[in-house]
A and B are shown apart, each in its own frame.
Chain A
Protein backbone atom coordinates (compact mmCIF):
# COMPACT_ATOMS: atom_id res chain seq x y z
CA UNK A 1 0.00 0.00 0.00
CA UNK A 2 1.15 3.52 -0.70
CA UNK A 3 1.41 6.40 1.73
CA UNK A 4 -1.64 8.14 0.28
CA UNK A 5 -3.74 5.08 1.06
CA UNK A 6 -2.76 5.16 4.72
CA UNK A 7 -3.56 8.85 4.79
CA UNK A 8 -6.95 8.10 3.23
CA UNK A 9 -7.73 5.57 5.95
CA UNK A 10 -6.86 8.08 8.67
CA UNK A 11 -8.97 10.76 6.95
CA UNK A 12 -11.86 8.32 6.73
CA UNK A 13 -11.69 7.43 10.41
CA UNK A 14 -11.46 11.03 11.59
CA UNK A 15 -14.33 12.13 9.33
CA UNK A 16 -16.62 9.34 10.44
CA UNK A 17 -16.00 9.98 14.12
CA UNK A 18 -16.55 13.73 13.89
CA UNK A 19 -19.60 13.28 11.64
CA UNK A 20 -21.04 10.79 14.10
CA UNK A 21 -20.61 13.20 17.00
CA UNK A 22 -22.11 16.20 15.22
CA UNK A 23 -25.40 14.58 14.27
CA UNK A 24 -26.36 14.09 17.88
CA UNK A 25 -26.96 17.83 18.27
CA UNK A 26 -29.46 18.15 15.45
CA UNK A 27 -33.05 18.35 16.77
CA UNK A 28 -35.51 15.88 15.28
CA UNK A 29 -37.63 18.67 13.78
CA UNK A 30 -34.71 19.31 11.40
CA UNK A 31 -34.17 15.68 10.49
CA UNK A 32 -35.82 15.92 7.08
CA UNK A 33 -33.67 18.85 5.89
CA UNK A 34 -30.68 17.22 7.56
CA UNK A 35 -31.22 14.01 5.64
CA UNK A 36 -31.69 15.74 2.34
CA UNK A 37 -28.60 17.83 3.06
CA UNK A 38 -26.53 14.75 3.85
CA UNK A 39 -27.95 13.22 0.74
CA UNK A 40 -26.71 16.16 -1.31
CA UNK A 41 -23.30 15.73 0.28
CA UNK A 42 -23.16 12.11 -0.82
CA UNK A 43 -23.21 13.50 -4.35
CA UNK A 44 -19.59 14.45 -3.65
CA UNK A 45 -18.94 11.37 -5.74
CA UNK A 46 -19.09 13.92 -8.60
CA UNK A 47 -15.37 14.39 -7.89
CA UNK A 48 -14.75 10.72 -8.58
CA UNK A 49 -16.96 10.88 -11.65
CA UNK A 50 -14.95 13.77 -13.13
CA UNK A 51 -11.68 12.03 -12.41
CA UNK A 52 -12.75 8.65 -13.71
CA UNK A 53 -14.21 10.15 -16.89
CA UNK A 54 -11.07 12.11 -17.66
CA UNK A 55 -8.98 8.99 -17.14
CA UNK A 56 -11.27 6.70 -19.11
CA UNK A 57 -11.19 9.00 -22.13
CA UNK A 58 -7.50 8.25 -22.54
CA UNK A 59 -7.83 4.52 -22.15
CA UNK A 60 -8.22 2.26 -25.17
CA UNK A 61 -12.02 2.29 -24.85
CA UNK A 62 -12.85 6.00 -24.92
CA UNK A 63 -16.42 5.42 -26.14
CA UNK A 64 -17.34 3.61 -22.94
CA UNK A 65 -15.63 6.47 -21.14
CA UNK A 66 -17.84 9.01 -22.88
CA UNK A 67 -21.06 7.18 -22.24
CA UNK A 68 -20.62 5.94 -18.70
CA UNK A 69 -18.52 8.90 -17.64
CA UNK A 70 -21.17 11.36 -18.74
CA UNK A 71 -23.83 9.22 -17.10
CA UNK A 72 -21.95 9.19 -13.81
CA UNK A 73 -21.42 12.95 -13.93
CA UNK A 74 -25.08 13.60 -14.73
CA UNK A 75 -26.30 11.32 -11.93
CA UNK A 76 -23.91 12.75 -9.36
CA UNK A 77 -24.81 16.27 -10.38
CA UNK A 78 -28.55 15.55 -10.07
CA UNK A 79 -27.79 14.33 -6.56
CA UNK A 80 -25.72 17.38 -5.59
CA UNK A 81 -27.79 20.12 -7.20
CA UNK A 82 -31.19 18.60 -6.40
CA UNK A 83 -30.21 17.79 -2.84
CA UNK A 84 -28.85 21.20 -1.92
CA UNK A 85 -31.63 23.08 -3.71
CA UNK A 86 -34.45 21.18 -2.06
CA UNK A 87 -32.77 21.44 1.35
CA UNK A 88 -32.47 25.15 0.84
CA UNK A 89 -36.14 25.34 -0.12
CA UNK A 90 -37.16 23.62 3.10
CA UNK A 91 -34.85 25.61 5.33
CA UNK A 92 -36.06 28.86 3.81
CA UNK A 93 -39.55 27.96 5.04
CA UNK A 94 -38.19 27.38 8.52
CA UNK A 95 -36.40 30.73 8.42
CA UNK A 96 -39.26 32.71 6.91
CA UNK A 97 -41.84 31.90 9.56
CA UNK A 98 -39.51 33.11 12.24
CA UNK A 99 -39.12 36.48 10.51
CA UNK A 100 -42.80 37.01 9.85
CA UNK A 101 -43.59 36.27 13.45
CA UNK A 102 -41.02 38.78 14.61
CA UNK A 103 -42.62 41.39 12.40
CA UNK A 104 -45.99 41.11 14.05
Chain B
Protein backbone atom coordinates (compact mmCIF):
# COMPACT_ATOMS: atom_id res chain seq x y z
CA UNK B 1 0.00 0.00 0.00
CA UNK B 2 1.04 3.59 -0.41
CA UNK B 3 2.82 4.86 2.63
CA UNK B 4 5.81 7.07 3.10
CA UNK B 5 7.15 5.96 6.45
CA UNK B 6 10.66 5.43 5.11
CA UNK B 7 11.61 9.10 5.22
CA UNK B 8 11.23 9.39 8.94
CA UNK B 9 12.92 8.52 12.10
CA UNK B 10 9.55 8.39 13.73
CA UNK B 11 6.11 7.80 12.26
CA UNK B 12 2.89 9.63 13.01
CA UNK B 13 0.79 6.87 11.50
CA UNK B 14 0.34 5.25 14.89
CA UNK B 15 -1.08 8.41 16.41
CA UNK B 16 -4.33 7.47 14.71
CA UNK B 17 -5.19 3.79 14.94
CA UNK B 18 -6.91 2.30 11.92
CA UNK B 19 -10.21 2.19 13.77
CA UNK B 20 -10.03 5.83 14.78
CA UNK B 21 -8.95 6.87 11.29
CA UNK B 22 -11.81 5.13 9.54
CA UNK B 23 -14.24 6.39 12.13
CA UNK B 24 -13.04 9.95 11.48
CA UNK B 25 -13.35 9.43 7.73
CA UNK B 26 -16.91 8.26 8.25
CA UNK B 27 -17.70 11.29 10.41
CA UNK B 28 -16.22 13.67 7.84
CA UNK B 29 -18.24 12.06 5.05
CA UNK B 30 -21.38 12.54 7.15
CA UNK B 31 -20.33 16.16 7.76
CA UNK B 32 -20.08 16.71 4.00
CA UNK B 33 -23.56 15.23 3.53
CA UNK B 34 -24.88 17.45 6.30
CA UNK B 35 -23.27 20.43 4.57
CA UNK B 36 -25.06 19.58 1.33
CA UNK B 37 -28.30 19.02 3.19
CA UNK B 38 -28.09 22.51 4.73
CA UNK B 39 -27.74 23.92 1.22
CA UNK B 40 -31.48 23.32 0.76
CA UNK B 41 -32.39 26.31 2.97
CA UNK B 42 -31.34 29.81 2.00
CA UNK B 43 -30.74 30.84 5.60
CA UNK B 44 -28.65 27.81 6.49
CA UNK B 45 -26.74 27.36 3.25
CA UNK B 46 -23.81 29.43 4.49
CA UNK B 47 -23.27 27.08 7.42
CA UNK B 48 -23.55 24.11 5.09
CA UNK B 49 -20.73 25.43 2.97
CA UNK B 50 -18.57 26.11 6.02
CA UNK B 51 -19.17 22.63 7.38
CA UNK B 52 -18.15 21.09 4.06
CA UNK B 53 -15.00 23.24 3.93
CA UNK B 54 -14.10 22.31 7.50
CA UNK B 55 -14.63 18.63 6.72
CA UNK B 56 -12.18 18.82 3.81
CA UNK B 57 -9.65 20.73 5.93
CA UNK B 58 -9.84 18.09 8.67
CA UNK B 59 -9.61 15.43 5.98
CA UNK B 60 -6.31 16.96 4.84
CA UNK B 61 -5.00 16.96 8.40
CA UNK B 62 -5.88 13.38 9.22
CA UNK B 63 -4.45 12.27 5.88
CA UNK B 64 -1.17 14.07 6.63
CA UNK B 65 -1.03 12.34 10.01
CA UNK B 66 -2.22 8.87 9.11
CA UNK B 67 -0.23 8.50 5.91
CA UNK B 68 2.97 9.94 7.38
CA UNK B 69 3.15 12.95 5.11
CA UNK B 70 3.77 15.62 7.76
CA UNK B 71 7.58 15.72 7.23
CA UNK B 72 7.32 15.78 3.42
CA UNK B 73 8.02 19.49 3.21
CA UNK B 74 7.31 19.87 -0.55
CA UNK B 75 3.58 19.66 0.00
CA UNK B 76 3.33 22.83 2.08
CA UNK B 77 4.52 25.44 -0.41
CA UNK B 78 2.43 23.74 -3.09
CA UNK B 79 -0.65 23.89 -0.86
CA UNK B 80 0.04 27.54 -0.03
CA UNK B 81 0.43 28.48 -3.70
CA UNK B 82 -2.77 26.66 -4.68
CA UNK B 83 -4.70 28.23 -1.84
CA UNK B 84 -3.49 31.73 -2.71
CA UNK B 85 -4.45 31.33 -6.36
CA UNK B 86 -7.85 29.93 -5.41
CA UNK B 87 -8.64 32.70 -2.95
CA UNK B 88 -7.56 35.41 -5.39
CA UNK B 89 -9.75 33.92 -8.11
CA UNK B 90 -12.69 33.70 -5.72
CA UNK B 91 -12.28 37.31 -4.65
CA UNK B 92 -11.73 38.82 -8.09
CA UNK B 93 -14.41 37.04 -10.07
CA UNK B 94 -17.50 39.02 -11.03
CA UNK B 95 -20.82 37.30 -10.45
CA UNK B 96 -21.61 37.26 -14.15
CA UNK B 97 -18.42 35.27 -14.69
CA UNK B 98 -19.47 32.57 -12.26
CA UNK B 99 -20.18 29.91 -14.91
CA UNK B 100 -16.70 30.11 -16.38
CA UNK B 101 -15.09 30.10 -12.94
CA UNK B 102 -16.96 26.95 -11.99
CA UNK B 103 -15.97 25.37 -15.31
CA UNK B 104 -12.34 26.33 -14.76
CA UNK B 105 -12.24 25.02 -11.19
CA UNK B 106 -13.86 21.80 -12.39
CA UNK B 107 -11.11 21.47 -14.91
CA UNK B 108 -8.23 21.93 -12.47
CA UNK B 109 -9.83 19.43 -10.08
CA UNK B 110 -10.07 16.93 -12.92
CA UNK B 111 -6.45 17.55 -13.87
CA UNK B 112 -5.33 16.96 -10.29
CA UNK B 113 -7.22 13.65 -10.20
CA UNK B 114 -5.66 12.63 -13.51
CA UNK B 115 -2.16 13.33 -12.17
CA UNK B 116 -2.85 11.43 -8.94
CA UNK B 117 -4.14 8.50 -10.94
CA UNK B 118 -1.12 8.61 -13.26
CA UNK B 119 1.19 8.27 -10.25
CA UNK B 120 -0.85 5.36 -8.95
CA UNK B 121 -0.90 3.76 -12.38
CA UNK B 122 2.88 3.97 -12.77
CA UNK B 123 3.34 2.64 -9.27
CA UNK B 124 0.87 -0.24 -9.54
CA UNK B 125 1.76 -1.17 -13.09
CA UNK B 126 4.25 -3.88 -12.22
CA UNK B 127 2.15 -5.32 -9.41
CA UNK B 128 -0.63 -7.84 -9.16
CA UNK B 129 -3.35 -5.39 -8.15
CA UNK B 130 -5.74 -5.61 -11.10
CA UNK B 131 -8.44 -3.56 -9.41
CA UNK B 132 -6.07 -0.76 -8.47
CA UNK B 133 -4.53 -0.71 -11.91
CA UNK B 134 -7.76 -0.56 -13.86
CA UNK B 135 -9.30 2.07 -11.58
CA UNK B 136 -6.12 4.14 -11.94
CA UNK B 137 -6.35 3.90 -15.73
CA UNK B 138 -10.01 4.87 -15.66
CA UNK B 139 -9.32 7.84 -13.36
CA UNK B 140 -6.60 9.12 -15.69
CA UNK B 141 -9.05 9.10 -18.56
CA UNK B 142 -12.02 10.63 -16.71
CA UNK B 143 -9.80 13.27 -15.09
CA UNK B 144 -8.21 14.28 -18.38
CA UNK B 145 -11.58 14.44 -20.17
CA UNK B 146 -12.87 16.65 -17.36
CA UNK B 147 -9.86 18.92 -17.63
CA UNK B 148 -9.95 19.51 -21.37
CA UNK B 149 -13.73 19.50 -21.63
CA UNK B 150 -13.93 22.12 -18.88
CA UNK B 151 -11.21 24.26 -20.45
CA UNK B 152 -13.14 24.41 -23.70
CA UNK B 153 -16.39 25.19 -21.86
CA UNK B 154 -14.72 27.92 -19.80
CA UNK B 155 -13.11 29.33 -22.94
CA UNK B 156 -16.47 29.51 -24.66
CA UNK B 157 -18.15 31.14 -21.67
CA UNK B 158 -15.34 33.65 -21.36
CA UNK B 159 -15.59 34.36 -25.10
CA UNK B 160 -12.03 33.26 -25.75
CA UNK B 161 -13.47 30.64 -28.07
CA UNK B 162 -16.38 30.95 -30.51
CA UNK B 163 -19.61 30.41 -28.63
CA UNK B 164 -21.48 28.87 -31.50
CA UNK B 165 -21.48 25.09 -31.52
CA UNK B 166 -18.63 23.87 -33.70
CA UNK B 167 -19.65 20.77 -35.57
CA UNK B 168 -16.99 19.05 -37.62
CA UNK B 169 -17.85 16.67 -40.43
CA UNK B 170 -18.20 13.18 -38.95
CA UNK B 171 -18.35 14.70 -35.49
CA UNK B 172 -20.38 11.90 -33.95
CA UNK B 173 -18.37 9.02 -35.45
CA UNK B 174 -15.16 10.72 -34.31
CA UNK B 175 -16.35 11.07 -30.73
CA UNK B 176 -17.64 7.50 -30.63
CA UNK B 177 -14.38 6.23 -32.07
CA UNK B 178 -12.33 8.19 -29.53
CA UNK B 179 -14.47 6.84 -26.73
CA UNK B 180 -13.97 3.30 -28.00
CA UNK B 181 -10.19 3.74 -28.16
CA UNK B 182 -10.27 5.02 -24.57
CA UNK B 183 -12.20 1.97 -23.40
CA UNK B 184 -9.70 -0.31 -25.08
CA UNK B 185 -6.79 1.59 -23.55
CA UNK B 186 -8.29 1.38 -20.07
CA UNK B 187 -8.92 -2.33 -20.44
CA UNK B 188 -5.42 -2.76 -21.84
CA UNK B 189 -3.90 -0.87 -18.94
CA UNK B 190 -5.93 -2.83 -16.43
CA UNK B 191 -5.40 -6.34 -17.65
CA UNK B 192 -2.14 -6.48 -19.54
CA UNK B 193 1.30 -5.30 -18.68
CA UNK B 194 3.01 -5.82 -21.99
CA UNK B 195 3.33 -2.18 -23.03
CA UNK B 196 5.43 0.37 -21.16
CA UNK B 197 3.38 2.31 -18.61
CA UNK B 198 4.58 5.67 -19.91
CA UNK B 199 3.48 4.97 -23.47
CA UNK B 200 0.10 3.76 -22.37
CA UNK B 201 -0.41 6.79 -20.13
CA UNK B 202 0.55 9.09 -22.98
CA UNK B 203 -1.94 7.40 -25.31
CA UNK B 204 -4.69 7.65 -22.70
CA UNK B 205 -4.04 11.33 -22.16
CA UNK B 206 -3.92 12.11 -25.89
CA UNK B 207 -7.23 10.41 -26.59
CA UNK B 208 -8.88 11.85 -23.46
CA UNK B 209 -7.80 15.30 -24.59
CA UNK B 210 -9.28 14.64 -27.99
CA UNK B 211 -12.55 13.39 -26.56
CA UNK B 212 -12.83 16.24 -24.05
CA UNK B 213 -12.39 18.79 -26.82
CA UNK B 214 -14.63 17.05 -29.35
CA UNK B 215 -17.31 16.75 -26.68
CA UNK B 216 -17.24 20.35 -25.48
CA UNK B 217 -16.63 22.20 -28.70
CA UNK B 218 -20.03 21.44 -30.19
CA UNK B 219 -21.99 22.58 -27.15
CA UNK B 220 -23.96 25.76 -27.81
CA UNK B 221 -24.94 28.46 -25.38
CA UNK B 222 -28.16 26.94 -24.15
CA UNK B 223 -26.80 23.49 -23.48
CA UNK B 224 -23.98 25.04 -21.48
CA UNK B 225 -25.71 24.77 -18.07
CA UNK B 226 -26.14 21.06 -18.61
CA UNK B 227 -22.58 20.62 -19.82
CA UNK B 228 -21.12 22.42 -16.82
CA UNK B 229 -23.22 20.39 -14.48
CA UNK B 230 -22.14 17.20 -16.19
CA UNK B 231 -18.47 18.16 -16.04
CA UNK B 232 -18.98 18.95 -12.37
CA UNK B 233 -20.28 15.45 -11.86
CA UNK B 234 -17.37 14.02 -13.85
CA UNK B 235 -14.79 15.80 -11.69
CA UNK B 236 -16.33 14.08 -8.67
CA UNK B 237 -16.31 10.74 -10.44
CA UNK B 238 -12.65 11.25 -11.37
CA UNK B 239 -11.80 11.94 -7.72
CA UNK B 240 -13.72 8.88 -6.53
CA UNK B 241 -12.05 6.54 -9.02
CA UNK B 242 -8.64 8.01 -8.17
CA UNK B 243 -9.57 7.24 -4.55
CA UNK B 244 -10.03 3.58 -5.49
CA UNK B 245 -6.58 3.59 -7.06
CA UNK B 246 -4.85 5.00 -3.96
CA UNK B 247 -7.14 3.25 -1.42
CA UNK B 248 -8.37 6.43 0.20
CA UNK B 249 -11.76 6.00 1.76
CA UNK B 250 -12.61 9.69 2.19
CA UNK B 251 -11.68 10.44 -1.40
CA UNK B 252 -13.96 7.66 -2.64
CA UNK B 253 -16.79 8.80 -0.45
CA UNK B 254 -16.75 12.53 -1.17
CA UNK B 255 -15.98 11.94 -4.85
CA UNK B 256 -18.96 9.61 -5.02
CA UNK B 257 -21.22 12.16 -3.37
CA UNK B 258 -20.20 14.86 -5.85
CA UNK B 259 -20.45 12.52 -8.82
CA UNK B 260 -23.95 11.29 -7.97
CA UNK B 261 -25.42 14.60 -6.94
CA UNK B 262 -23.88 16.28 -9.97
CA UNK B 263 -25.52 13.72 -12.20
CA UNK B 264 -28.85 14.25 -10.48
CA UNK B 265 -28.57 18.01 -10.86
CA UNK B 266 -27.84 17.45 -14.54
CA UNK B 267 -31.02 15.41 -14.84
CA UNK B 268 -33.06 18.11 -13.14
CA UNK B 269 -31.77 20.57 -15.71
CA UNK B 270 -32.41 18.27 -18.62
CA UNK B 271 -36.00 17.95 -17.44
CA UNK B 272 -36.32 21.73 -17.12
CA UNK B 273 -35.19 22.12 -20.72
CA UNK B 274 -36.88 19.03 -22.09
CA UNK B 275 -33.54 17.79 -23.34
CA UNK B 276 -32.35 14.24 -23.36
CA UNK B 277 -28.98 13.83 -21.67
CA UNK B 278 -27.94 11.22 -24.21
CA UNK B 279 -28.71 13.63 -27.06
CA UNK B 280 -26.40 16.18 -25.56
CA UNK B 281 -23.68 13.61 -24.98
CA UNK B 282 -23.91 12.45 -28.55
CA UNK B 283 -24.10 16.00 -29.80
CA UNK B 284 -27.53 16.29 -31.34
CA UNK B 285 -27.37 20.03 -31.43
CA UNK B 286 -30.74 21.72 -31.55
CA UNK B 287 -29.33 24.53 -33.64
CA UNK B 288 -29.15 22.39 -36.74
CA UNK B 289 -32.87 22.19 -37.30
CA UNK B 290 -33.87 25.81 -37.03
CA UNK B 291 -34.92 28.93 -38.89
CA UNK B 292 -37.55 27.88 -41.36
CA UNK B 293 -40.49 30.02 -40.48
CA UNK B 294 -39.04 32.90 -38.56
CA UNK B 295 -38.86 35.46 -41.37
CA UNK B 296 -42.17 37.18 -41.00
CA UNK B 297 -41.81 38.07 -37.33
CA UNK B 298 -40.13 41.48 -37.48
CA UNK B 299 -42.71 43.24 -39.69
CA UNK B 300 -45.66 42.18 -37.59
CA UNK B 301 -43.95 43.40 -34.51
CA UNK B 302 -43.04 46.78 -35.85
CA UNK B 303 -46.67 47.29 -36.62
CA UNK B 304 -47.57 46.72 -33.00
CA UNK B 305 -44.81 48.96 -31.83
CA UNK B 306 -45.82 51.90 -33.95
CA UNK B 307 -49.46 51.59 -33.08
CA UNK B 308 -49.01 52.32 -29.41
CA UNK B 309 -45.68 54.03 -28.87
CA UNK B 310 -46.34 55.66 -25.48
CA UNK B 311 -48.45 53.08 -23.80
CA UNK B 312 -45.82 51.03 -21.97
CA UNK B 313 -45.17 53.99 -19.66
CA UNK B 314 -48.84 54.38 -18.89
CA UNK B 315 -49.19 50.75 -18.04
CA UNK B 316 -46.01 50.76 -15.97
CA UNK B 317 -47.39 53.73 -14.04
CA UNK B 318 -50.79 52.20 -13.42
CA UNK B 319 -50.07 48.50 -12.81
CA UNK B 320 -50.47 47.37 -9.22
CA UNK B 321 -49.41 43.75 -9.57
CA UNK B 322 -46.23 43.27 -11.56
CA UNK B 323 -44.02 40.28 -12.37
CA UNK B 324 -40.53 40.72 -13.78
CA UNK B 325 -39.01 37.95 -15.89
CA UNK B 326 -35.23 38.31 -16.26
CA UNK B 327 -33.25 36.24 -18.73
CA UNK B 328 -29.66 35.94 -19.83
CA UNK B 329 -30.06 39.07 -21.94
CA UNK B 330 -30.33 41.03 -18.70
CA UNK B 331 -27.05 39.56 -17.52
CA UNK B 332 -25.34 40.29 -20.83
CA UNK B 333 -26.52 43.89 -20.75
CA UNK B 334 -25.53 44.16 -17.07
CA UNK B 335 -28.98 45.57 -16.54
CA UNK B 336 -29.83 43.95 -13.20
CA UNK B 337 -29.28 47.19 -11.27
CA UNK B 338 -31.61 49.06 -13.62
CA UNK B 339 -34.17 46.30 -13.30
CA UNK B 340 -34.00 46.69 -9.56
CA UNK B 341 -34.40 50.49 -9.91
CA UNK B 342 -37.45 50.04 -12.10
CA UNK B 343 -38.89 47.59 -9.58
CA UNK B 344 -38.17 50.05 -6.77
CA UNK B 345 -39.88 52.84 -8.70
CA UNK B 346 -42.96 50.72 -9.23
CA UNK B 347 -42.98 49.58 -5.61
CA UNK B 348 -42.72 53.21 -4.55
CA UNK B 349 -45.67 53.83 -6.80
CA UNK B 350 -47.70 51.31 -4.81
CA UNK B 351 -47.23 48.19 -6.93
CA UNK B 352 -46.31 44.72 -5.69
CA UNK B 353 -43.32 43.48 -7.69
CA UNK B 354 -42.15 39.87 -7.92
CA UNK B 355 -39.45 38.23 -9.98
CA UNK B 356 -40.06 34.95 -11.80
CA UNK B 357 -37.05 32.82 -12.66
CA UNK B 358 -36.99 29.88 -15.01
CA UNK B 359 -34.83 27.04 -13.68
CA UNK B 360 -32.42 27.18 -16.60
CA UNK B 361 -32.35 30.91 -17.30
CA UNK B 362 -28.79 32.02 -17.90
CA UNK B 363 -25.65 30.06 -18.55
CA UNK B 364 -25.76 28.17 -15.30
CA UNK B 365 -28.72 27.06 -13.17
CA UNK B 366 -29.56 29.61 -10.50
CA UNK B 367 -27.35 32.23 -12.14
CA UNK B 368 -30.15 34.82 -12.42
CA UNK B 369 -30.91 34.53 -8.72
CA UNK B 370 -27.30 35.24 -7.82
CA UNK B 371 -27.13 38.27 -10.13
CA UNK B 372 -30.38 39.75 -8.82
CA UNK B 373 -29.43 39.20 -5.22
CA UNK B 374 -26.01 40.74 -5.85
CA UNK B 375 -27.83 43.79 -7.24
CA UNK B 376 -29.68 44.04 -3.94
CA UNK B 377 -33.01 42.41 -4.74
CA UNK B 378 -34.33 40.72 -1.57
CA UNK B 379 -34.50 37.01 -2.21
CA UNK B 380 -38.03 36.88 -0.81
CA UNK B 381 -39.15 38.69 -3.96
CA UNK B 382 -37.53 36.13 -6.24
CA UNK B 383 -39.80 33.21 -7.12
CA UNK B 384 -39.16 29.90 -8.79
CA UNK B 385 -41.23 28.99 -11.82
CA UNK B 386 -43.56 26.52 -10.12
CA UNK B 387 -44.32 28.92 -7.29
CA UNK B 388 -45.34 31.84 -9.44
CA UNK B 389 -46.66 30.40 -12.69
CA UNK B 390 -50.29 30.59 -11.56
CA UNK B 391 -49.99 34.30 -10.82
CA UNK B 392 -49.37 35.50 -14.36
CA UNK B 393 -53.07 35.55 -15.18
CA UNK B 394 -53.88 37.80 -12.25
CA UNK B 395 -50.90 40.08 -12.73
CA UNK B 396 -51.61 43.37 -14.45
CA UNK B 397 -48.21 43.61 -16.06
CA UNK B 398 -45.29 41.34 -16.88
CA UNK B 399 -41.95 42.91 -17.70
CA UNK B 400 -39.57 40.65 -19.62
CA UNK B 401 -35.91 41.62 -19.68
CA UNK B 402 -33.75 39.68 -22.09
CA UNK B 403 -35.66 36.41 -22.06
CA UNK B 404 -37.28 34.51 -24.89
CA UNK B 405 -37.28 30.72 -25.03
CA UNK B 406 -38.15 30.25 -21.34
CA UNK B 407 -41.53 31.91 -21.96
CA UNK B 408 -42.19 30.79 -25.52
CA UNK B 409 -45.72 29.32 -25.60
CA UNK B 410 -44.74 27.31 -28.68
CA UNK B 411 -43.26 24.90 -26.14
CA UNK B 412 -46.80 23.81 -25.31
CA UNK B 413 -48.00 22.87 -28.77
CA UNK B 414 -45.33 23.16 -31.47
CA UNK B 415 -44.65 19.47 -31.96
CA UNK B 416 -41.29 18.59 -33.35
CA UNK B 417 -39.55 21.79 -32.27
CA UNK B 418 -36.64 21.54 -29.87
CA UNK B 419 -38.53 23.25 -27.06
CA UNK B 420 -41.73 21.22 -27.36
CA UNK B 421 -42.63 19.92 -23.90
CA UNK B 422 -40.27 22.24 -22.06
CA UNK B 423 -41.95 23.76 -18.98
CA UNK B 424 -42.22 27.52 -19.50
CA UNK B 425 -43.19 30.65 -17.60
CA UNK B 426 -46.82 31.46 -18.40
CA UNK B 427 -46.08 35.02 -19.47
CA UNK B 428 -48.66 34.73 -22.26
CA UNK B 429 -51.40 34.39 -19.63
CA UNK B 430 -50.75 37.94 -18.52
CA UNK B 431 -52.86 40.65 -20.12
CA UNK B 432 -50.07 43.18 -20.46
CA UNK B 433 -46.50 42.29 -21.36
CA UNK B 434 -43.61 44.69 -21.92
CA UNK B 435 -40.44 43.26 -23.45
CA UNK B 436 -37.00 44.76 -23.07
CA UNK B 437 -35.27 42.42 -25.51
CA UNK B 438 -32.24 43.06 -27.67
CA UNK B 439 -33.95 41.78 -30.80
CA UNK B 440 -36.78 39.53 -31.87
CA UNK B 441 -34.65 36.74 -33.23
CA UNK B 442 -35.63 33.31 -32.01
CA UNK B 443 -33.54 32.11 -29.07
CA UNK B 444 -31.18 29.17 -29.15
CA UNK B 445 -34.11 26.91 -29.93
CA UNK B 446 -34.71 28.60 -33.26
CA UNK B 447 -38.44 28.66 -32.62
CA UNK B 448 -40.16 31.99 -33.12
CA UNK B 449 -42.11 33.33 -30.20
CA UNK B 450 -45.83 33.82 -30.93
CA UNK B 451 -46.22 36.32 -28.08
CA UNK B 452 -44.44 38.90 -30.22
CA UNK B 453 -47.31 38.70 -32.68
CA UNK B 454 -50.08 39.23 -30.15
CA UNK B 455 -52.11 42.30 -31.15
CA UNK B 456 -53.26 43.36 -27.71
CA UNK B 457 -51.29 44.19 -24.64
CA UNK B 458 -47.79 43.51 -25.93
CA UNK B 459 -45.13 46.21 -26.16
CA UNK B 460 -41.66 45.53 -27.35
CA UNK B 461 -38.81 47.88 -26.59
CA UNK B 462 -35.87 46.66 -28.63
CA UNK B 463 -32.25 47.33 -27.87
CA UNK B 464 -29.63 46.86 -25.22
CA UNK B 465 -31.61 46.54 -21.98
CA UNK B 466 -29.17 48.78 -20.11
CA UNK B 467 -30.01 51.62 -22.55
CA UNK B 468 -33.72 51.00 -22.99
CA UNK B 469 -34.36 50.54 -19.27
CA UNK B 470 -32.43 53.68 -18.40
CA UNK B 471 -34.47 55.53 -21.00
CA UNK B 472 -37.76 54.32 -19.57
CA UNK B 473 -36.63 55.13 -16.05
CA UNK B 474 -35.71 58.69 -16.96
CA UNK B 475 -39.11 59.17 -18.61
CA UNK B 476 -40.87 57.83 -15.55
CA UNK B 477 -39.21 60.13 -13.06
Contact = CB atoms under 8 A, between A and B. Distances in A.
* A and B part of one assembly: yes
Interface of A: 1, 4-5, 7-8, 11-20, 22-59, 65-66, 68-95, 97-98, 101
A79 B45 contact: no
B109 A48 contact: no
B69 to A, nearest CB: 4
A45 B118 contact: no
B267 to A, nearest CB: 10
Given A50-B69, A73-B75, A36 B82 contact: no
Interface in B32-51: 32-33, 35-37, 39-40, 42-43, 45-46, 48-50
Counting from the closest, the 10 A-B pairs by CB-CB distance are A77-B82, A81-B86, A82-B86, A31-B366, A85-B90, A16-B260, A19-B257, A32-B366, A15-B256, A31-B365
B116 interface: yes
8 contacts: A15-B29, A37-B36, A42-B236, A50-B60, A65-B119, A75-B115, A82-B90, A89-B91
Given A16-B259, A32-B370, A44 B40 contact: no
Among A45, A51, A55, A83, max chain B CB count under 10 A is at A45
Interface in B68-104: 68-69, 72, 74-75, 77-79, 81-83, 85-87, 89-91, 93, 95, 98, 101-102
Contacts of A45: 109, 112-113, 116, 238-239, 242-243, 251, 255
A28 B69 contact: no
B45 A94 contact: yes
B228 interface: yes
A37 B89 CA distance: 15
A12 B370 contact: no
A18 to B, nearest CB: 6
Nearest to B36: A22
Contacts of B240: 12
Contact of A26 (B39, B105, B106, B255): B39
A70 B85 CA distance: 14
Contacts of B111: 72, 75
Given A38-B262, A40-B53, A8 B367 contact: no
Given A29-B379, A79-B86, A19 B108 contact: no
Interface residues of B, number: 119
Given A53-B72, A97-B373, A74 B85 contact: yes
B327 to A, nearest CB: 15
Contacts of A36: 98, 101-102, 105
A98 B42 contact: yes
B376 to A, nearest CB: 7
Contact of A89 (B56, B90, B259): B90
